[in-house]
Structure 1
């Protein structure tokens, strides 16, 4: 890969940092992707698409993992013109509601937002700063997961707690916005603008899981709220629970706020219910002989089915249901169980199409189009980085 202009995207997660390079053309072309996985584990690996995984020295923190990713990215970029670096930032708070160029004022604002997302923001800010040091003359662009949901109706944003907290930024934000941006764009590309303006429920189901309701191309509601721990049960996150549990466990087991937060984010969900695994594949393989695994799978599907029903009520019906994410796009059994019993909403799954992983798993005569659609957050980041560096995208009005 020589001579072409390229865009680098960086996506820092809790245990991995992903990167991808795109040729800066229309449409964008992904030329390489990879990741450092297993950060903090005994066996971290560097993966580059098309090559065997490489074991690396124990990487206990994101700083050293980020340096490994940037060294590999710099090696891949050699001979090319790097024109931008795009970053996924999970939380933009109430200020950052569209992609924008990164500068000192934004970095200072993101540091102030760290109490909103202490798990992701410090890691992401550190990765941005490392990329700025590595590529000091290259524009850096931030893309915010929360931005997709910022136009939700006020009723969907407000938390039913004392109203003054809303003015302090304690509202429902929603997450997985880059994924939902991609999926909505794909609906328009595949089915046309009218379909993209219809009543759509999107289910991004992976180790982190959420659903979003969209109408007329705009977000109406979403399952996650103030933090990514809310909504449906996930790999290790609890989803919605009674807030009185925190006080109860503090009284009976002297659990601190920090310990409760750790439990809710890292010891709950599929892992907590099964007591064995947060991996849906393992739980499905074990459910026939382990009732705990069966309970975990059942709870996951039950909560998603409930949320689809709630969004149908909000939207006044559903025209399209989209399954995405690692579980949603790759696990026919989960799609079938979630949709079972939703025929009264017009949601029906064709068993053969579903088992084959077809792009559309509903029957031809189905009232609701049920799609299976892999997501691509990195291409959304790359598009925003290309547009901003070309001066195409509307500049942000945020004033951090």
Structure 2
């Protein structure tokens, strides 16, 4: 698989040379899903750093190996290009201390079995947009950002910083996703092991690749396909997705200290008006109301005039955030 990453990079460089001749590549920024406890800020990548990050692969098996293969391939192809790693876990370093713990023996916590959180680059980008959209004062208040896509999570913001988030030890936790379960009763896992004879590999495949919208609907992991379907199972999957999202907003509002604004981002969050509508219906008890016409056209502000909660749609841009950190860290202004 390292060869596949190398071929992809060679194709990319050939395309760049063909379409933008004379452009020199002097730096590369990477999204790395897991930085563990050690990496709480962007870092210049070296073989030694990559070696440390490889120890975190068991915590992010879907993403971390591919993140690191691209880095190692670039070391080989263009050794003079400086590389910067930007971590999806880093933004959540400010979360409440209690929010990082599981109710497990302390020894496991000391070994790193704790809640880290992900999608941090997305939340960092969105949080930077909020002062312009809400004003400085309200942007520092209690805000929930819902990053809804094939991978989905939420973050409670206060003073523009993460207080808590829905994902925990791994990116399979929290919200229902395209093919991932989200939060699950540990007893289900024990049942599948003891009564169904499932091993770790089959459980990983089930929880990461066969569940979520795909598993419940039996049709697709794509929300667009499910919204277009008349099948009852598709409607069940959408309803469960929205219900669990609304429940998480309630949970995280406590961590944020209230709910002044709700921000939708990510592929589903930005483009699926019916999903936003259903989540808002579950949240009517908060005084949240949508303005249907604005919601339907995916406007930036989609709340009704009498809504007690501002509701925004803010496109995320993780690539911009990576570029920003790369330029700053390497002094390339």
TM range (shorter): over 0.9
In structure 1, C-alpha distance between the alignment counterparts of 2:94 and 2:70, rounded to whole Å: 28
1:84 and 1:189 map into 2 onto residues whose CA distance is: 30
Report Cα offsets for 1:286-338 as digits up to 9, x if no partner: 1xx31111110000000000011112223332111000000000011000000
- 2:183 pairs with 1:240: yes
Instruction: Give the paired residue count.
Output: 333
Per the alignment, residue 180 of structure 1 pairs with 123
Q: Does 1:114 align with 2:26?
A: no
CA distance in 2, matches of 1:255, 1:353: 47
Aligned runs of 1:224-373 on 2, under 5 Å?
224-286=167-229, 289-373=230-314
- The runs of at least 4 aligned residues of structure 1 exceeding 6 Å deviation read none
Mean CA deviation greater in 197-206 or 311-320: 311-320
Q: Distance in 2 between matches of 1:190 and 1:73?
A: 36
Which one of the candidate residues 384, 387, 393 is aligned to 2:325? 384
Alignment map for 1:184-203 (pairs within 5 Å): 184-203=127-146
Deviation at 1:358, TM superposition (A): 0.9
Partner residue, 2:86: 143
Given that residues 146 and 173 in structure 1 are in contact (C-alpha distance below 8 angstroms), is that contact kept between their aligned partners in structure 2? yes
Relative to its length, the structure with more strand (as a share) is 1
Q: Which of these residues, 136, 153, 177, is aligned with residue 210 of structure 1?
A: 153
Q: Are the counterparts in 1 of residues 290 and 302 from structure 2 also a CA contact under 8 Å?
A: yes
The separation in 2 between residues aligned to 1:81 and 1:69, in whole angstroms, is: 13
User: Aligned partners of 2:52 and 2:18: how far apart in 1?
Assistant: 32
Instruction: Give the C-alpha shift of residue 104 in structure 1.
Output: 2.3
Q: Distance in 2 between matches of 1:388 and 1:76?
A: 28
Question: Does the Cα contact within 8 Å between 1:301 and 1:334 map onto a contact in 2?
Answer: yes
Contact 1:246/1:257, CA 8 A, preserved across alignment: no
SS in 1 for 2:195: helix
Q: How far is the alpha carbon of 1:65 from its aligned partner?
A: 3.7
Task: Give the helix-richer structure, 1 or 2.
Answer: 2
Structure-2 separation of matches of 1:97 and 1:76: 37
Q: Deviations over 1:250-294 (max 9, x none)?
A: 2222111110011000000000001110010111111xx311111
Judging changes above 3 Å, is the alpha-carbon distance between structure 1 residues 273 and 70 closer, same or farther for their aligned structure 2 residues?
A: farther
Q: 1:61 to 1:134 in 2, by over 3 A?
A: closer
Q: Secondary structure at the match of 2:94?
A: coil
Is this contact kept in 2: 1:178–1:380, CA < 8 A? yes
The match for 2:67 is 124
1:192 Cα shift?
Answer: 3.0
Distance 2:81 2:3 in 1: 28
Q: Counterpart of 1:148 in 2: which secondary structure?
A: helix
1:255–1:98 Cα change, 3 Å? same
RMSD: 2.0
Gaps (5+ residues) in structure 1? 1-39, 41-58, 393-400
Does the Cα contact within 8 Å between 1:67 and 1:130 map onto a contact in 2?
Answer: no
Cα distance in 2 for partners of 1:63, 1:240 equals 36
| Whole-Å separation in 1 of the counterparts to 2:295 and 2:242 | 16
Match in the other structure for 2:164: 221
- Segments of structure 2 that go 5 or more residues without pairing to the other structure are none
